[in-house]
Chain A
Amino acid sequence: MEAAKKLAGPVVLKAQVLVGGRGLAGGIKFGEDPEEVGKVTSQVLNTLVEGERPSALLVEEKLEVTRELYAGVTYDYQQKRPVVLASSHGGVDIETVARENPADIAERKIDPFKGFSGYQARELAAKIQLTGNELVQYSKILSAIWNIFRKHDAELVEANPLAVLPEGKLVALDAKMNLDDKSILRQSSMLKRIGGIPPSQTGGLEARRARAKELGIPTYIEMQGNIGVVADGAGSGMLTLDLVADYGGKTKVYCEMGGETTSELMENALLAALAVKDLRAVLINLIGGLNLMDEMAKGITSYLRKHPTKIPLVVRMSGTNEDEGRRILTAEGIRWFDSLYEAVEKAVAASRGY
């Protein structure tokens, strides 16, 4: 409210969330006067965008806009190149424009060794029918977006909508940036500067997700069901989920540890999975190449010694150092399976109380 008063005049309120599509979800509202601002403030703050509650509100002056453009840089995964995208059609999802008005988009694939030059930005501006001062401003913005994309190892940087004001000035009304997960090490100083990845405030699920992240679990997903699934490979993990469903079971929580796992991470994955309430069974599918089965067995036994549980743990173990891993499990009285199908069957039966 204070911010709105300071701006004195019509304002726009924008929900601060870490997902796209907030405008359509009701996360952006206008307030013409203080009374309306008060009303829409609580509306916006209480709007969930894809299940996420806004962590803050951005209050800005409402601008007169003559038209809306788009400027962005992302990757073309098929061509394995960065691609700079310009469009005379802003304010909507660029994917939608590509589908419905492809002629409104100009793009340039970038040679990663040569980069993106100013003249290429001006060419793109001209291709979307910009002239004069608009062309100059737009191409500078495109170059700036490219520089941000490169400097911060982003997967996507876009200004959308990029508004043209009545006096001819270009202003980004909204911007979005996705960082490349695989560059987090290299970008750690930047992440520290912006205070890390802000924790969301949706409560339960978000807290458990954040906890899994702290524990180093690369993939943590919750669904509707009563079985926990832990896997040490993306493909074998997805196969496990499919088989659980095929056998009539329902997965509640899925933890995938990646192909370079330690005994500590194995233990942590069980900590994360078993933090979920009302599980009837936990299925651990391990088939390791890089992952060493003796290390995995140590992680499982270490967890069980510290946190004895009545929930049945079904272990499937195969792969590098499997003899030693299975020996460790057997010595601790933990039954293991060689066959994935038997393990899935057993876990699903356990989830039904058999």
Chain B
Amino acid sequence: MAILIDRGTRALVQGITGKIGSFQTKLMIEYGTSVVAGVTPGKGGQTVGGVPVYDSIHRAIKETSPEVSICFVPGPYAADAAMEAVDAGLRLVVVVAEAVPLSDAVKMLALASERGSLVLGPDTAGLISPGRSKLGVQPHRLFTEGNIGIVSRSGALSYETAKTLTENRIGQSTVIGLGGGPMWGFTYRDALELFMDDQATDAVVLLGEIGGHLEEEAADYIGKGYPKPVVALIVGRTAPPGQKMGHAGAIVQQGRGAAQDKIAALRNAGALIVNAPREIPGMIKRELHKQPHC
């Protein structure tokens, strides 16, 4: 059993009739995700790749009982759509849109925390449990089933890392993208908690970057005693300060959020620090070799 999603998890796609939504739905279905319904207001009654489309989540729930959603609705409307999913009681909503206004994001995240739903994102690649299910946009050929959990702010950096692991015959249990920030629903800490109790996960790879507080928060958590090895990579070591490095949350401001501080915090907490994805396979093999069961 993988964390968050698994074989047979019933998924809904919001914004399924759009160009990106329909293409990515096709890829998810090919991968084995059970996409049971799509929602696009005004397009109820159509089908996309065999998936029935509804005008609202309310209708979709009655007829298809989805548990989780991935939302391809564009930025200015994404938070409203995600709130519809949260309000309807879906336990997990993946928000792919990059440009969700902050004033919308705070409402979406407040509602989700009030209702106990998880929001992944915004600006996220989603998540994939290789060989089982995918609720995201990952190029899934780079991923293989296995025992390493990956959690990353950046989608592309998680692809890069999964690719390197796969090439070294190390598979992944679940790979999670948190999103570009500067505000996040689901965090590294949340992922670490789930990976801790996950029997399919033997070690965790934490892929961080400059800016924000999430890596420091993760370091605090790991420092209290984390039972599985954590390998950490922080990118942006050479990024000039004061510049947004592609993600809204990736900026070193007034000396805060610098890569070296995050690296120091994680190292002090007991995480194993690497400088590039290709150092990760060797590090993992050494660590898991030390453990009695592997």
B210 at the interface (CB under 8 A from A): yes
Chain B residues with Cβ under 8 A from A153's Cβ?
101-103
Chain A residues with Cβ under 8 A from B265's Cβ?
none
Whether A233 and B246, one on each chain, are in contact in the complex, defined by CB atoms closer than 8 angstroms, is yes
Contact with B along A151-164 (1 / 0, CB 8 A): 00101000000000
Chain A residues with Cβ under 8 A from B237's Cβ?
242, 245
Whether A235 and B153, one on each chain, are in contact in the complex, defined by CB atoms closer than 8 angstroms, is yes
A239 CA to B107 CA in the complex, in Å? 32
List the B residue with the shortest CB-CB distance to A244.
Answer: B238
Whether A82 and B106, one on each chain, are in contact in the complex, defined by CB atoms closer than 8 angstroms, is yes
Chain B residues with Cβ under 8 A from A213's Cβ?
none
B193 to chain A, nearest CB (A): 18
Chain A residues with Cβ under 8 A from B278's Cβ?
341
A166 at the interface (CB under 8 A from B): no
Contact with B along A226-241 (1 / 0, CB 8 A): 0000011111111101
A288 CA to B154 CA in the complex, in Å? 12
Residues 146 to 172 of chain B near chain A (Cβ within 8 Å): 152-160, 163
Contact of A183 with B156 at beta-carbon distance under 8 Å, contacts A95-B254, A112-B110, A259-B125 already known: no
Chain B residues with Cβ under 8 A from A155's Cβ?
102
B48 to chain A, nearest CB (A): 17
List the B residue with the shortest CB-CB distance to A221.
Answer: B243
B171 to chain A, nearest CB (A): 18
Whether A319 and B276, one on each chain, are in contact in the complex, defined by CB atoms closer than 8 angstroms, is no
A81 at the interface (CB under 8 A from B): yes
Whether A182 and B276, one on each chain, are in contact in the complex, defined by CB atoms closer than 8 angstroms, is no
Contact with A along B113-127 (1 / 0, CB 8 A): 000000000010100
Whether B183 and A290, one on each chain, are in contact in the complex, defined by CB atoms closer than 8 angstroms, is no
Whether B101 and A290, one on each chain, are in contact in the complex, defined by CB atoms closer than 8 angstroms, is no
A258 CA to B98 CA in the complex, in Å? 9
List the B residue with the shortest CB-CB distance to A243.
Answer: B276
Chain B residues with Cβ under 8 A from A214's Cβ?
none
B41 at the interface (CB under 8 A from A): no
B125 contact from A181, A243, A289, Cβ within 8 A: A289
Contact of A150 with B103 at beta-carbon distance under 8 Å, contacts A95-B254, A234-B180, A236-B160 already known: yes
A324 at the interface (CB under 8 A from B): no
Whether A81 and B106, one on each chain, are in contact in the complex, defined by CB atoms closer than 8 angstroms, is yes
Chain B residues with Cβ under 8 A from A256's Cβ?
245-246
Contact of A287 with B238 at beta-carbon distance under 8 Å, contacts A75-B106, A153-B103, A219-B244 already known: no
Whether A113 and B159, one on each chain, are in contact in the complex, defined by CB atoms closer than 8 angstroms, is no
Whether B245 and A182, one on each chain, are in contact in the complex, defined by CB atoms closer than 8 angstroms, is no
A243 CA to B278 CA in the complex, in Å? 11
B183 to chain A, nearest CB (A): 5
A183 contact from B102, B154, B210, Cβ within 8 A: B102
Contact of A322 with B139 at beta-carbon distance under 8 Å, contacts A233-B156, A235-B152 already known: yes
A337 CA to B212 CA in the complex, in Å? 33
| Interface bin, chain A | 35 or more
Chain B residues with Cβ under 8 A from A180's Cβ?
101-103
Chain A residues with Cβ under 8 A from B277's Cβ?
239
List the B residue with the shortest CB-CB distance to A50.
Answer: B242
A235 CA to B155 CA in the complex, in Å? 7
B209 at the interface (CB under 8 A from A): yes
Chain B residues with Cβ under 8 A from A290's Cβ?
20, 24, 96, 125, 137
A251 CA to B243 CA in the complex, in Å? 15
Contact of A75 with B102 at beta-carbon distance under 8 Å, contacts A80-B109, A289-B137, A319-B139 already known: yes
Chain A residues with Cβ under 8 A from B106's Cβ?
75, 80-82, 112
A250 to chain B, nearest CB (A): 10
Contact of A289 with B138 at beta-carbon distance under 8 Å, contacts A77-B213, A80-B109, A95-B254 already known: yes
Contact of A320 with B245 at beta-carbon distance under 8 Å, contacts A183-B102, A241-B239 already known: no
A318 at the interface (CB under 8 A from B): yes
Whether B142 and A242, one on each chain, are in contact in the complex, defined by CB atoms closer than 8 angstroms, is no
B235 contact from A184, A218, A242, A341, Cβ within 8 A: A242
Most buried by A among B107, B111, B156: B156
Contact with A along B21-36 (1 / 0, CB 8 A): 0001001000000000
Contact with A along B79-106 (1 / 0, CB 8 A): 0000000000000000010111111011
Whether A81 and B102, one on each chain, are in contact in the complex, defined by CB atoms closer than 8 angstroms, is no
List the B residue with the shortest CB-CB distance to A181.
Answer: B248
Whether A287 and B248, one on each chain, are in contact in the complex, defined by CB atoms closer than 8 angstroms, is no
A278 at the interface (CB under 8 A from B): no
Whether B183 and A235, one on each chain, are in contact in the complex, defined by CB atoms closer than 8 angstroms, is no
Chain B residues with Cβ under 8 A from A237's Cβ?
156, 245-246
A206 at the interface (CB under 8 A from B): no
Residues 97 to 117 of chain A near chain B (Cβ within 8 Å): 111-113
Residues 268 to 318 of chain A near chain B (Cβ within 8 Å): 287-290, 318
A242 CA to B278 CA in the complex, in Å? 13
A236 CA to B159 CA in the complex, in Å? 9
Whether A238 and B102, one on each chain, are in contact in the complex, defined by CB atoms closer than 8 angstroms, is no
Whether A234 and B75, one on each chain, are in contact in the complex, defined by CB atoms closer than 8 angstroms, is no
- Other A-B contacts than A95-B254, A236-B156, 16 sampled, CB-CB below 8 A, are A77-B181, A77-B212, A77-B249, A80-B106, A80-B183, A155-B102, A181-B248, A184-B99, A232-B156, A235-B209, A238-B210, A239-B160, A245-B237, A245-B238, A259-B98, A290-B24
Smallest CB-CB A-B distances: 8 pairs: A235-B154, A233-B156, A234-B246, A235-B157, A236-B156, A256-B246, A319-B139, A234-B247
- Can you identify 7 A-B contacts, CB atoms within 8 angstroms? A185-B75, A234-B154, A245-B237, A260-B98, A289-B138, A289-B139, A322-B141
Residue positions of B touching A, CB distance < 8 A:
20, 24, 27, 75-76, 96, 98-103, 105-107, 109-111, 123, 125, 136-139, 141-142, 152-160, 163, 180-183, 207, 209-210, 212-213, 235-240, 243-250, 254, 275-278
